[in-house]
Structure 1
Amino acid sequence: MKVIQKENYIIIEGNNDDLGGLATLISQEHKEIQKDNVVIDILAKEDLKEKDLLVFLEISNLHRLQKKSFVIAAREMSFDNIPEELIVVPSLREAEDIINMEELERELEH
């Protein structure tokens, strides 16, 4: 797991790690990242299925309760069966756009 700090978010690169193991690591380190917007970069992971992303559902829900974004960047796939709670996009640029939009929405709520 590699963490890259950006201006208003962090990117966690999964490399070719087992997604369940990556989700567990992120859960264990959640106190360290709970104040950051997070992008999970698994673009390098091939043969990804929608069900594979469900390992991030619990940590995504927990993170979003903290009023922070949690976005998964994954290769293009059918997003029909992915729960609404998971935000999955096909590029890092789109992940950054989602974070910026959500930050703006949170600012407008106050």
Structure 2
Amino acid sequence: MTVYDQHSGGEFDEIAALNYGDYLDLKHELVSRRRKFCNLKEMSEFLGRSEEDISEFEKYDYDPRASEIREYALAIMTVIHSEATDSQAPTMKALPYSWEGTSKMPSMDSSVSSQDFLPLTRI
């Protein structure tokens, strides 16, 4: 059995939806906390970035790098806990997102663009 065989079927899509949903939840939680912690101008001054950069980060469809998420979280005095678990994905009916993407598995040496995966939609 190859790596590609292990990524066929619905389980791959379910895991992708879980990962993307968790990412969206994290980003929305950080933005919510920032709004309670400080205003946009204070955040941009603290990070040394423009208000437009912060607004872009906070947009629903902006896909920040991990370093941007860590920097943003630190600026609002928030600790992020990460955890990886086995791929025992629940059924999609339990998820608040549906995965409308592809099962294409990128190679380890390729970069993944937003064209490789379509966005999730809230159910």
TM-score by length of 2: 0.22
Instruction: Report which of the two has the higher share of strand.
Output: 1
TM-score by length of 1: 0.24
Instruction: Report which of the two has the higher share of helix.
Output: 2
